[in-house]
């Protein structure tokens, strides 16, 4: 089935057209700086050279129009696209699994948008645009929170007054669920079913862990919002919640300023005082920059801490997988985290860890108590497979 996968952000829109049977990617690209000066579309076909098209993108409707014009020119007109899958960041209490787009399900995306206001409103608008422009093509909503929704209550409930929690739907929702779900599926295939308690480590600019026991999510590190859990590129991760009150009352910062500080000015960027990009920080560490060294040490420590927490959710773990931008590409990060977990018997082979591959591969040493793998994630394929299941 030929599926167009769309991932809309506040000022961007990524797309990928792929075949669910052959897993061939016909075309992919991104529309950047939507509604901002200097907008452009980056596009490539069949793994070829990437083209940059300078075009005016005043809104997402114009972006979608350009995407379909590009695909049409490549031989994929409306009649050759059999379904559209939309990544939605927050599914709230309505999406324990993916759902076909209807007036009702689209309304649900908007209803839960206050939990992810920078994403859900735009994603709902894009879904609506696709329905209006291409009414013959079915659409499917794939929420990042769906995989986590079935966690045990002891993992998702917060110790706040019940009437407040119930009224405002406050709970741990998590994120990156589509990636974690794919990692379980691909790891199980690679190990031929010899995996039961997996800690999935999605480490990128945004980062989260998931405890997956026999395919079921038992816990995750992100909470009500993606701010919780690990130290990330610009997010602070878990801190004492009273820090917010202190910054407001004593520091004089407004709630909006604190929100911006914790989401966009903290994390590795703040610790290193160099960059939010781990590659720049690793270069700084190699130059002897003390701030960069501390940033990486804290990242290893905090990630190791929370991997142990995920293992606790399953009373042990037999497999650990690194994925996403940092997890797939930084041998330094993987080794640093593994050394934090040496007391649990985690051992990584240095030669294997230096390998780069687009396919899953093992990096654990022969004497490791836990299988350690690198598995490239593929959220687009996971979304497309959901489209095929619901529309195919």
Q: Please list the active-site residues.
A: 144
Selection from 231, 191, 226, 228 nearest residue 212 by Cα: 191
User: Is 181 labeled as ligand-binding?
Assistant: no
For the chain, the distance separating the N- and C-terminal CA atoms, rounded to the nearest angstrom, is: 7
User: Is 206 labeled as ligand-binding?
Assistant: yes
User: Is 14 labeled as ligand-binding?
Assistant: yes
User: Is 327 labeled as ligand-binding?
Assistant: yes
User: Is 111 labeled as ligand-binding?
Assistant: no
Phi, psi of 211, deg, nearest 5: -95, 115
**Token pair belonging to 232:** 């990330």
Selection from 171, 173, 177 nearest residue 209 by Cα: 177
Determine which helix (DSSP H) or strand (DSSP E) holds 320, and give its type and residue range. Answer: strand 319-323
User: Is 131 labeled as ligand-binding?
Assistant: no
Phi, psi of 9, deg, nearest 5: -115, 180
**Token pair belonging to 58:** 């005043």
User: Is 328 labeled as ligand-binding?
Assistant: yes
User: Is 238 labeled as ligand-binding?
Assistant: no
CA dihedral defined by 144, 77, 2, 48, rounded to 10 degrees? Answer: -90
Angle 97-103-105 from CA coordinates, rounded to 5° = 15
**Token pair belonging to 134:** 């291409």
Give the whole-angstrom CA distance, residue 107 versus residue 338: 44
Helix 242-249 × helix 255-264 angle, to 10°: 130
Residue 288, phi-psi category: left (phi > 0), alpha (psi -120 to 50), beta (remainder): left
User: Is 91 labeled as ligand-binding?
Assistant: no
User: Is 205 labeled as ligand-binding?
Assistant: yes
User: Is 202 labeled as ligand-binding?
Assistant: yes
Selection from 371, 377, 375 nearest residue 196 by Cα: 371
In sequence order, what DSSP letters do the residues of 301-355 get, joined into one string?
Answer: HHHHHHHHHHHHHHTS-SEEEEEHHHHHH-HHHHHHHHHHTGGGT--B-HHHHT-
**Largest CA-CA distance found in the chain, in angstroms, rounded:** 61
Helix 120-133 × helix 103-111 angle, to 10°: 160
258: number of Cβ within 10 Å = 17
User: Is 339 labeled as ligand-binding?
Assistant: no
User: Is 286 labeled as ligand-binding?
Assistant: no
Write the CA distances from 207 to 13, 226, 231, 234, 336, integer angstroms: 20, 9, 8, 11, 16
Q: Can you say which residues are annotated as belonging to the binding site for substrate?
A: 87
Q: Can you say which residues are annotated as belonging to the binding site for ATP?
A: 14, 202-206, 277-279, 325-329
Q: Can you say which residues are annotated as belonging to the binding site?
A: 7, 14, 87, 202-206, 277-279, 325-329, 379
Q: Can you say which residues are annotated as belonging to the binding site for Mg(2+)?
A: 7, 379
């Amino acid at each position: 089935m030929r599926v167009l996968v769309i991932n809309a952000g506040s000022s961007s829109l990524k797309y990928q057209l792929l075949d669910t049977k052959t897993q061939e990617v016909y075309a992919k690209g991104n529309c950047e700086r939507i509604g901002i000066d200097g907008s452009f579309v980056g596009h490539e076909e069949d793994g070829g050279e990437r083209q940059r098209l300078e075009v005016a993108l005043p809104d997402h409707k114009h972006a979608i129009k350009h995407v379909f014009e590009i695909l049409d020119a490549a031989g994929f007109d409306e009649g050759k696209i059999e379904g559209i899958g939309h990544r939605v960041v927050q599914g709230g209490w309505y999406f324990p699994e993916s759902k076909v787009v209807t007036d009702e399900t689209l309304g649900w995306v908007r209803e839960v948008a206050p939990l992810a206001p920078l994403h859900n409103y735009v994603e709902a608008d894009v879904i609506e645009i696709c329905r209006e422009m291409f009414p013959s093509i079915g659409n499917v909503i794939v929420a990042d929170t769906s995989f986590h929704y079935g966690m045990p209550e002891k993992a998702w409930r917060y110790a706040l007054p019940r009437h407040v929690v119930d009224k405002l739907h406050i709970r741990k929702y998590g994120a990156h669920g589509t990636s974690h779900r794919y990692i379980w599926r691909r790891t199980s295939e690679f190990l031929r079913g010899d995996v039961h308690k997996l800690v999935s480590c999605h480490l990128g600019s945004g980062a989260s862990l998931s405890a997956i026991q026999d395919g079921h999510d038992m816990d995750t590190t992100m909470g009500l919002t993606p701010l919780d859990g690990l130290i990330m590129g610009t997010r602070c991760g878990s801190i004492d919640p009273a820090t917010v009150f202190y910054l407001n009352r004593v520091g004089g910062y407004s709630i909006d300023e604190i929100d911006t500080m914790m989401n966009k000015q903290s994390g590795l960027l703040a610790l290193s005082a160099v960059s939010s990009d781990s590659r720049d920080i690793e270069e700084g560490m190699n130059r002897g920059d003390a701030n960069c060294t501390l940033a990486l040490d804290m990242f290893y420590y905090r990630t190791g801490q929370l991997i142990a927490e995920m293992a606790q959710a399953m009373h042990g773990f037999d497999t650990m997988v690194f994925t996403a931008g940092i997890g797939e590409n930084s041998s330094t990060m993987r080794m640093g985290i593994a050394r934090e977990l040496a007391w649990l018997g985690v051992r990584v082979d240095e030669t294997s860890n230096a390998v780069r591959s687009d396919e899953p591969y093992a990096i654990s040493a022969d004497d490791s108590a836990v299988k350690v793998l690198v598995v490239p994630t593929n959220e687009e394929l996971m979304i497309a497979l959901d489209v095929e299941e619901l529309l195919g």
